[in-house]
């Protein structure tokens, strides 16, 4: 194995609770040819103070406003020299061989655009990390109704999670990208940006990785690449429709603005990237009717996000036309991913 440079890029907003655990896990990496780039998105807690005072060896940039996780990552990319880019969230802890294991598979296939690790749940107890063997995610799966599923979310680890396999898309907690694949995803109708400037807080990762797959870049789950993610929305996950009422309390803890963005951005990503909408329209419509019914009964405030969706729709259609012209994977091949 060669020793290619790797950039670990962290965009953070108010990460005081996690920042030391996250950055210490980087310092413990076995693989040493690493640069660390950090962008603070105008934090109002002690995040900046901790980074400047305790981690001066890392490259540090500051924004005067919160531009979001993925636009922050695009800004960091311009300051990165690595052939491979680790997109890191502050609530993630890396295993010591995270980078080493990643390179073992990335170096073997130059059409491999992104790697998804086995991500477990963890949580802080009196500022001490408690690592678990409960799966946070092993990547995205998508159905014919276009329901997006975090594979394994909330499950105990088991032998089935120990097999390397190709997946629809990597998830956004801590994916590893080939730099060439990221740069290939820029669009003229987005101002040559990789990340859609009209997405914020939700859906950026899905939009990017869906487009990456259309452009012919493979994405794989690799179980030897291990990290831990403290994501409150994965705790006590409900898997069946009849558990809907126990899920409501958890949903209500999510800011209504984010729930509006959840609804709109996911559908904008679908309109922008999906080559098989009409082929699977009956499945999609059934699910959309169910979602609208749920929203009407339990989350009517989400409807206030509809005007933004329709305002952005013409832009998404323009970007769709550009993506379809650039597509290297046919609609038939893409349809195999919709289970």
* 3-state SS record for 58-74: CEEEECCCCCCHHHHHH
Specify burial of residue 71 (Cβ count, 10 A radius: 0-12, 13-18, 19+): buried
Residue 248 has which token pair? 């409501």
Q: What is the pLDDT of residue 236?
A: 47
User: Is residue 31 in a domain?
Assistant: no
**Domain span at residue 178?**
90-339
pLDDT band, residue 254 (cuts 50/70/90): confident
pLDDT band, residue 255 (cuts 50/70/90): confident
Residues belonging to the chain: 339
Residue 338 has which token pair? 């919709």
**Percentage of the chain modeled with pLDDT above 70:** 94
Question: Mapping DSSP to helix (H, G, I), strand (E, B) and coil, where does residue 9 land?
Answer: strand
pLDDT band, residue 117 (cuts 50/70/90): very high
Q: Which residue's entry shows tokens 């020299």?
A: 81
CA 140 vs CA 154, 195, 210: distances in Å: 14, 19, 10
pLDDT band, residue 202 (cuts 50/70/90): confident
Q: How many domains, the chain?
A: 1
Residue-averaged pLDDT of the chain: 92
Q: What is the pLDDT of residue 237?
A: 46
Q: What is the pLDDT of residue 2?
A: 67
Task: Give me the phi and psi of 191, to 5 degrees please.
Answer: 70, 30
User: Is residue 5 in a domain?
Assistant: no
Q: Is the pLDDT of residue 238 over 50?
A: no
User: Is residue 22 in a domain?
Assistant: no
Q: What is the pLDDT of residue 189?
A: 95
User: DSSP label at 8?
Assistant: E
User: Is residue 62 in a domain?
Assistant: no
User: Is residue 74 in a domain?
Assistant: no
Mean pLDDT across the stretch 283-292? Answer: 95
Helix axes 204-214, 69-77, angle to 10 degrees: 50
CA distance 87 to 295: 32
User: Is residue 38 in a domain?
Assistant: no
Give the model confidence (pLDDT) of 263-276 as tens digits: 999 999 999 999 99
Q: Which of 94, 234, 235, 78 is nearest to 176 (CA)?
A: 94
User: Is residue 297 in a domain?
Assistant: yes
* 3-state SS record for 282-321: HHHHHHHHHHHHHHHHHCHHHHHHHHHHHHHHHHHHHHHH
User: Is residue 122 in a domain?
Assistant: yes
- Please tell me the chain's helix, strand, coil percentages from 3-state DSSP, rounded to the nearest 5: 40, 25, 35
**pTM of the model as a whole:** 0.92
């Amino acid at each position: 194995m060669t020793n290619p440079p790797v950039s670990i890029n962290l965009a953070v907003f108010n990460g005081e609770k996690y920042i030391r655990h996250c950055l210490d896990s980087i310092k413990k990496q076995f693989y040493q040819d690493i640069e660390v780039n950090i962008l603070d998105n105008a934090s109002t807690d002690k995040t900046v103070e901790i980074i400047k005072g305790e981690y001066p060896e890392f490259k540090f940039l500051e924004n005067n406003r919160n531009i979001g996780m993925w636009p922050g990552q695009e800004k960091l990319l311009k300051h990165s020299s690595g052939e491979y880019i680790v997109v890191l969230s502050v609530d993630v802890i890396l295993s010591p061989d995270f980078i080493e294991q990643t390179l073992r598979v990335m170096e073997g296939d130059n059409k491999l655009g992104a790697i998804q690790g086995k991500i477990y749940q963890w949580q802080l107890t009196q500022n001490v990390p408690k690592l678990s063997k409960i799966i946070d995610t092993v990547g995205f799966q998508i159905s014919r109704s276009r329901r997006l599923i975090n594979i394994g979310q909330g499950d105990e680890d088991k032998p089935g999670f120990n097999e390397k396999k190709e997946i629809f898309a990597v998830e956004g907690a801590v994916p590893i990208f080939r730099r060439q694949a990221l740069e290939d995803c820029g669009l003229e109708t987005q101002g040559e940006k990789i990340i859609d400037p009209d997405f914020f807080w939700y859906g950026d990762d899905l939009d990017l990785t869906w487009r990456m797959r259309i452009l012919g870049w493979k994405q794989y789950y690799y179980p030897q690449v291990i990290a831990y993610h403290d994501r409150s929305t994965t705790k006590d996950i409900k898997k069946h429709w009849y558990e809907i009422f126990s899920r409501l309390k958890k949903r209500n803890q999510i800011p209504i603005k984010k729930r509006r963005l959840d609804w709109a951005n996911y559908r904008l990503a679908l309109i922008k990237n999906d080559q098989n909408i009409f082929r699977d329209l009956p499945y999609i419509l059934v699910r959309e009717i169910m979602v609208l019914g749920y929203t009407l009964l339990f989350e009517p405030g989400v409807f206030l996000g509809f005007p933004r969706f329709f305002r952005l729709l013409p832009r998404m259609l323009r970007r769709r036309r550009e993506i379809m012209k650039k597509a290297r994977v046919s609609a038939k091949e893409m349809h195999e991913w919709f289970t």
